[in-house]
A and B are shown apart, each in its own frame.
Chain A
Amino acid sequence: MLCIEAKDLHKRYGKVVALDGLSFGVECGEKVALIGPNGAGKSTTLKVLVGLISPDQGYAKIAGYDPDSIMARKVIGYLPEDASPYPMLTVRENLEYIAALRGVEDVKERVEEMLDLLELREVERRRVMALSRGQRQKVAIALALIHRPKVLLLDEPLNYLDIPTQEKVISYLNSLKDVTTLVATHIMSIAVRLTSRVLIISHGKLIWTGTVQELRHMGKEDEPIESVVARMMRGSG
C-alpha cells in the first residue's frame, strides 16, 4: 500500500514553474530520499504533501487520504527547510504547546523523551530566540516527532547540526522501522545514510528512481555516487 502518493503534480509561483507533472509513490514503511539540485522543487513537493499549498493540477495522498484531511494530519510529521519554532517560547513550552495541539496523551513523558533524545535538557528553559541555529534545528526535529508520526516528511533535516547530533538523529530515524519517511535533500550522502531508495527530481520532474544499490551500479568502478547523480541531472537538461 502507498503511504505517500504524488500524482501529476503541477505548481507554479507566478511565472516560475516549481512542479511540472511530478508523480511518485512511497510504500508504507519505506524510507525514500527526494534528491535534486537547489530549486528542483523538493520543498514545494513537501508543502503540497502536508497540505499547506494545493497543486494547480494533480493530487497528493497521505495514507490514502487528502493531505488536509484529519486522518492525514494525524499521521504526518513535518519538518520544513529552515524550520523555526516559536521564538518567544522556551524549548519546553514549544514542545508542550505542539503536543497539546496534537492531543498527545502522555505529554510529560513524551517531552522528557524528546529532550533526552535531542540533548536539549540544558536549554529546556531557554527561549528559542536565545538559541543557536543548530539548537533550534534540534527543537524543530523534536516538534516534528513528538506525536509519533507514521509518515515523516523531512526537508533537509540535518542542516545546521553538528556531526555527533547528526549521527544521533540518523540512528534514531533508522530505528523507526515502520515509519514511512520521505527525506528531501541535495546531499547524496545523507540520502544514502537515511534511506534505501531515491527519487531524483530536476525542474519539478522525476528523472530517475531506484535503490541506492542500483544507483551505485550505474556508475563506473569507484565512481562516487554524487558524480553519477550529477551525470544524470545533466542528461535531463
Chain B
Amino acid sequence: MTQDNNAAARAELAAILDSLVSECALRTVALVTRDGSLVTSRGDVSYLDITALAALLGGMFSATREVAKLVGEKHFSILLQQGEKRHIHISLVTNDFMLALIFEDVGKIGMIRTVTRRIAGRVGELAAMDWTPSADEPASQEPAKRSSEFREYALDLIDRIFSP
C-alpha cells in the first residue's frame, strides 16, 4: 500500500464517528485513552474544553476500573450520567480506549447502545494504530534525523515558554 496509512486511518475514524453523531443525534463524541488523552473528537466542541474533559474522563475511567475490581468485576463496560438537559454515555471500546457521547435526547439511549457496540471493534483498531512516517507528514526522513530535529525544535520552544 503506497497510500498514506495515517491519513487513511484518520479519515476512516472521522467518518465512523461522524455517522455516530448523526445517527444518535449526539452533541459531541470524544474518543479518549485510559490515560486521559484525547484521541479525537467529533460533533460540536465549541462549548467545552475538550482537553480538560479528556483528562477528567481518563480519571473516571481508571477510578471506575478500580471500583469494579473492589466489588469483584473486571470492569464496568458502560457508565451513564444523566443531567437535566445533557447526558453522557461512556463505554469501553477496548481495555485502552473509551467513547464518551454527549447528547440531549434521552430517547436515543437504545440506539446509542446498539451503535456503540457495533462500531467498537473497528474504532478500537483505528485508535490503536501506530504512527507511521509518511509522505503527507513532513517527518518522512529517517528516524534518527527526524528525532534529533524534533528534539532541537522542542527544546527551543520549551526554553522560550518557560524562561522566567
- Whether A and B are associated in the same complex: the answer reads no
Residues of B participating in the A interface, judged by any CB pair closer than 8 Å: none
